[in-house]
Amino acid sequence: MNKIKFNVEEENNFTFISFESGIISPEDLAHLTPPKINETKGVVLSGRGPIWLYCFLTHFYHPTKFIATYDPRLEGAVVVETHAVEHQIGSVLKCQQGGKEKINHGI
């Protein structure tokens, strides 16, 4: 039984992955298969879940160009991991929930 529902939206420079979960436990990670994405782009993660779920997803998407987590208070996503010099840790990629880019920022 899949307790986490993923939604994937492709943008020009990143893939926006949002998720919804019911009550999950750490043991559920052993059976979790996040969506496959284009690893030449970045990924933005968004959803309500425990910190250990975000850590798991960050590790899973490690090969991507960058990983950012969406924060609605910032109206964007904070870069938390990067393999590209044009993305700095802590920079904010302006985008809307649902992935739509507001400002490109050279990505």
Structural domain containing residue 59: 4-21+34-94
Whether 69 maps to a domain, the answer reads yes
Whether 9 maps to a domain, the answer reads yes
Q: Which residues contact 63 (CB under 8 A, 6 or more apart)?
A: 39, 83
pLDDT digits (tens, 9 = 90+) for 24-40: 999 999 999 999 999 99
Whether 103 maps to a domain, the answer reads no
Please give the tally of structural domains in the chain.
1
Whether 63 maps to a domain, the answer reads yes
Residue of 78, 79, 25 whose CA lies nearest to 56: 25
d(CA 13, CA 94): 12
91 or 22, greater pLDDT: 91
d(CA 45, CA 56): 11
Whether 54 maps to a domain, the answer reads yes
Whether 58 maps to a domain, the answer reads yes
pTM (two decimals): 0.86
Whether 27 maps to a domain, the answer reads no
Whether 57 maps to a domain, the answer reads yes
The pLDDT score that the predictor gives to residue 106 is 34
